[in-house]
Structure 1
Amino acid sequence: MPFFSTADGTRLAYEDYGTGSPIVFVAGWSLSADMWEYQLPRFVDEGYRCVLLDRRGHARSERPSTGYDLDTLSADIAALLEHLDLREVTLVAHSFGGVESAHYLGAYGTERVSRAVFLAACLPSMRRSEANPDGLPQEAIDATMASLRADRTRWLYNGGQAYFATQLGNTVMPAMIEDTIRQCMNTAPMAAIWLQQVNLNAAHEDDLAKLDIPVLVLHGAADASAPVHLTGRRTAAVIPNCVYREYPRAGHGLYVTHADAVNADILNFIRTGGTAKG
């Protein structure tokens, strides 16, 4: 597995498959490059170069004691793109990866990125504010963080079924739920806590409103982790050049339960230059 060094000297792991136009996959909170198992073969077979990052504190990357703020995390994405000299990139980002990617685009612009896909992203914001009056109140954020700190394993197991919206008939093998939890538990505990705190408090309405590239927003109507009325629908309303797809029976783990539809929508978006509305 190849590695590269970031500005603060942290060694991060990545995977690089295929040739052609590059797609950079940015994983969700506490997940690793392994989460993209249902996307990677399809996109490589379709002729794309697929680059997958293990963020700092996750999986095979180093676990520094600092750098879990959005400025550093977006700088890590920039360092990867520069290390491989990637251009005309399609960013595909899930959950907290969308928060990182939005911050990257706001800080570094779109010189290297030609389009973005926000998949169940926790954007534009989760917390209650003037811009998001229906968002999570501070007491709800505090309760979530207290529960995560008290017993991360229990917190993850309690949310396993809802993550894939199995109550709506989505068939997911128990082994898949176990593997998702295993990935999360392989993340440095302090990294998981710090990133969830960032995730629940970040706000990107301004950054998204300024995006000058095509964006595809894919979200599940049954998403318990990033409720669609707080995230996906608001993101689509904020971004000027946006294509929006909502899957009625999908949860946060739609990259598994709705992989065929997600992959097809992303491929269509890339092939049409990000302009397809139908």
Structure 2
Amino acid sequence: MGTITTKDGTQIYYKDWGAGPVVALSHGWPLSSDSWESLMYFLATNGYRVIAHDRRGHGRSSQPSEGNEMDTYADDLAELLDRLDVKEVTLIGFSTGGGEVARYIGRHGTKRVRKAGLISAVPPLMLKTDQNPGGIPIEVFDGFRKAQLANRADFYRDVASGPFYGYNRPGAKPSQGLIDFWWLQGMMAGHKNTFECIKAFSETDFTEDLKKFDVPTLIIHGDDDQVVPIDRGGRAASELVKNSKLVVYEGAPHGLTDTHKDRFNADILAFLKA
């Protein structure tokens, strides 16, 4: 575990576990690298070096007032990979982290990248626009912002105990520990940072970034994702990314990396070995 300091003075915290081919993980909003702990442990004990950072404003990284948008997130990731001088990296991004991976490839190319993974990811574009009529109306994201300003602690509890893990579905069996862990990660993040990140994950158009992918790409998405609907996320992304494979988890929610972790970890390992 360590930190780097970016060009604008932001400290980025990262974990670096194991040895072998390199996998770098980008987490979702408003979480941290801790959200990847199951996959990190699994891969590190199966012969891989796994790097996961806390995005600026999240987890144990600095909480700068500026730079809470996708270009800077991608540039922070580039600085981390450059500083560690890792090559032939498999980049995997979950949700907002999928946007970070897409924008990284769009801005920095694949000179360090061997493969990519987009998991429950926000690309190509979540927001409803004239060019994206099937997207989510801006009023939904305005509601997120209103709820965060009104009572961030309650808002995060509601997300984790409801749509994120599908615990609002009939017959669901919520894990209070998992809900609390999600809430704790969210509350460690900066209020201003996570507020501004809502715009970053919902309004950024990654269409041109996805067209620049030139490495094998695994796309995993649940077809009961209430946060990033599969038609707006995984299915749309798979049509834009050359040499991609879409794997649909039937009935899976947004947070499938935890609810379906055994299957997910096995699928990632198989993709790495292929």
Q: TM-score range by the shorter chain?
A: over 0.9
2:175 matches 1:207: no
Offset of residue 210 of structure 1: 2.3
Q: What is the CA RMSD across the aligned residues, in angstroms?
A: 1.4
- Cα distance in 1 for partners of 2:206, 2:242 equals 14
Offset of residue 256 of structure 1: 0.5
What's the counterpart of residue 230 of structure 1?
232
1:78-109 CA distances to partner (integer Å, 9 max, x unpaired)? 01001110110001111101111111100000
- Cα distance in 1 for partners of 2:71, 2:172 equals 37
2:71 matches 1:47: no
2:216 matches 1:217: no
Instruction: Decide which moves more: 210-219 or 166-175.
Output: 166-175
2:116 matches 1:111: no
Listed as ranges, the matches of 1:80-91 within 5 Å are 80-91=80-91
Q: TM-score, normalised by structure 1?
A: 0.94
- Cα distance in 2 for partners of 1:42, 1:139 equals 39
Report the 3-state secondary structure (helix = DSSP H, G, I; strand = E; otherwise coil) of the residue aligned with 1:104: helix
Offset of residue 169 of structure 1: 4.9
User: Which amino acid is 1:208 matched to?
Assistant: L
What's the counterpart of residue 124 of structure 1?
124
What's the counterpart of residue 158 of structure 1?
158
Structure 1 gaps, min length 5: 273-278
CA separation of 1:79 and 1:169: change in aligned 2, threshold 3 A: farther
Structure 2 gaps, min length 5: none
In the alignment, is the contact (CA less than 8 A) between 1:170 and 1:257 conserved in 2?
no
2:172 matches 1:195: no
Report the 3-state secondary structure (helix = DSSP H, G, I; strand = E; otherwise coil) of the residue aligned with 1:47: coil
- Give the count of matched residue pairs: 272
2:259 counterpart (232, 257, 264):
257
CA separation of 1:147 and 1:43: change in aligned 2, threshold 3 A: same
Report the 3-state secondary structure (helix = DSSP H, G, I; strand = E; otherwise coil) of the residue aligned with 1:39: helix
User: Which amino acid is 2:219 matched to?
Assistant: V
Report the 3-state secondary structure (helix = DSSP H, G, I; strand = E; otherwise coil) of the residue aligned with 1:14: strand
In the alignment, is the contact (CA less than 8 A) between 1:57 and 1:64 conserved in 2?
yes
In the alignment, is the contact (CA less than 8 A) between 1:32 and 1:59 conserved in 2?
yes
Identity of aligned residues (%): 35
2:269 counterpart (267, 270, 273):
267
Offset of residue 197 of structure 1: 1.2
Instruction: Detail structure 1 runs of 4+ shifted over 3 Å in the superposition.
Output: 168-172
In the alignment, is the contact (CA less than 8 A) between 1:236 and 1:243 conserved in 2?
yes
Listed as ranges, the matches of 1:137-156 within 5 Å are 137-156=137-156
In the alignment, is the contact (CA less than 8 A) between 2:105 and 2:212 conserved in 1?
no
- Cα distance in 2 for partners of 1:52, 1:138 equals 31
User: Which amino acid is 1:194 matched to?
Assistant: E
Report the 3-state secondary structure (helix = DSSP H, G, I; strand = E; otherwise coil) of the residue aligned with 1:270: helix
User: Which amino acid is 2:166 matched to?
Assistant: A
